[in-house]
């Protein structure tokens, strides 16, 4: 009989990943020759602010068994809308960006849920369309954000290591964790990702849940893009695939399964923080970019090893065999 693991993968995987990266972070003085400072921690949380909400939005759809590729396009469009409309009022720009992201997410969720269309082609088409729309809005060029007061406010230090964007990001994870733990939503989302037909039989409103998840995903992606553009005082119409890649790595490192039905906001936070810490390790040690890619691949390799069912079963068999050898049969 195979023993079930005491700690579920959605908890074990992010804990192992974050521990490994924290060890690497605290060992950076050995390579850089300088001690860590509060500014290094501040930069880490700034990195979390860049990908955290994107990771949370993408992760929520992955828990439900979907994959929202359009978060990268919504992220870019949200930043452009915020910069275009928020020159005189930063709050107005953020509200319009989040509203657009929510509308995009709700439209996609409705198509996917009510028509039974797979999420991958729908969100890929949306991603491409949003990149084209953003480029058309800016003429293919970056747009400068002239509201220096808002930019300075975004980058100010709070308690030495935080900034307003990083605190907003942490607040988003806390709210998601409270909703998952304190309401039926968390169980229903995992049920939708685990077995959609059984969820309907159990009374879960699958269609409404999917629309809500994609709406949340679009809103979070647009908010993330707006905060990032305000902080950098510019909106880039095409930042490449890096935001999507980093968010996906954060989700997988955070214990979310591509098959759906598994994941927690706390794990997604740990995954996003692990990615942000790894980026800061790269910045401190000034290693080449290709080493960074190898580090991400190595981190994912560790996660695969920790989470592989076959490896766990083999380990359990070895333990059972060793216990049998230590306790021989005493029957006459």
How would you write 293-325 as a 3-class SS string? HHHHHHHHHHHHHHHCHHHHHHHHHHHHHHHHH
- Residue 4 located in a structural domain: no
Q: Give the pLDDT confidence of 37-96 residue by residue, as tens digits.
A: 999 999 999 999 999 999 999 999 999 999 999 999 999 999 999 999 999 999 999 999
Distance, C-alpha 155 to centroid of its chain: 22
- Rg (C-alpha) for the chain, rounded Å, is 22
Residue 78 falls inside a structural domain: yes
Answer yes or no: is 310 within a domain: no
Confirm whether 174 is domain-assigned: yes
Contact 275, 49 (CB under 8 A): no
**Residue 2 confidence (pLDDT) above 60:** no
Which token pair is 115? Answer: 């028509």
Domain count along the chain: 1
Please, which residues have CB within 8 angstroms of residue 29's CB and are 6 or more apart in sequence?
35, 36
Does residue 331 form part of some domain? no
CATH number at residue 67: 1.10.3470
pLDDT (mean) for 88-110: 96
Host domain of residue 56: 9-25+34-153+161-305
pLDDT of residue 196: 81
Residue 314 lies in a domain: no
Per-residue pLDDT at 283 exceeds 90: no
Express as a percent the part of the chain with pLDDT over 90: 56
Beta strand ranges found along the chain (DSSP E): 143-144, 234-235
Neighbours of 189 (CB within 10 A): 26
Is 327 within the bounds of a domain? Answer: no
* Residue that has been written with the tokens 């590729």 in this structure: 69
Q: What tokens does 22 get? A: 């924290």
Question: Mean pLDDT over all residues of the chain?
Answer: 87
Residue 94 lies in a domain: yes
Full-model pTM: 0.87
């Amino acid at each position: 009989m195979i023993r079930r693991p005491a700690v579920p993968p959605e908890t074990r995987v992010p804990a192992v990943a974050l521990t490994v990266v924290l060890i690497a972070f605290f060992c950076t003085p050995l390579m850089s020759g300088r001690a860590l400072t509060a500014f290094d921690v501040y930069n880490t949380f700034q990195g979390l602010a860049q990908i955290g909400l994107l990771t949370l939005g993408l992760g929520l759809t992955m828990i439900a068994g979907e994959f929202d590729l359009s978060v990268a396009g919504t992220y870019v469009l949200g930043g452009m809308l915020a910069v275009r409309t928020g020159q005189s009022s930063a709050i107005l720009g953020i509200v319009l960006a989040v509203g657009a992201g929510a509308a995009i997410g709700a439209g996609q969720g409705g198509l996917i849920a009510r028509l039974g269309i797979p999420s991958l082609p729908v969100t890929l088409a949306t991603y491409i369309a949003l990149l084209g729309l953003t480029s058309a809005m800016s003429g293919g060029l970056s747009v400068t954000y002239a509201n220096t007061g808002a930019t300075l406010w975004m980058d100010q230090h709070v308690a030495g290591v935080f900034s307003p964007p990083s605190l907003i990001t942490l607040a988003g994870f806390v709210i998601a964790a409270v909703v998952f733990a304190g309401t039926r939503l968390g169980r229903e989302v995992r049920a939708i990702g685990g077995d959609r037909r059984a969820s309907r039989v159990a009374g879960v409103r699958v269609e409404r849940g999917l629309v809500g998840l994609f709406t949340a995903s679009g809103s979070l992606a647009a908010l993330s893009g707006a905060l990032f553009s305000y902080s950098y005082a510019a909106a880039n119409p095409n930042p490449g695939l890096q935001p999507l890649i980093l968010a996906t790595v954060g989700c997988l490192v955070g214990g979310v399964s591509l098959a759906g039905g598994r994941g927690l906001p706390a794990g997604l936070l740990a995954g996003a923080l692990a990615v942000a810490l790894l980026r800061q390790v790269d910045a401190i040690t000034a290693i080449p970019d290709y080493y960074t890619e190898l580090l991400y691949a190595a981190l994912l390799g560790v996660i695969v090893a920790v989470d592989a069912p076959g490896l766990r079963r083999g380990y359990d068999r070895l333990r059972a065999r060793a216990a049998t050898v230590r306790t021989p049969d005493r029957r006459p």
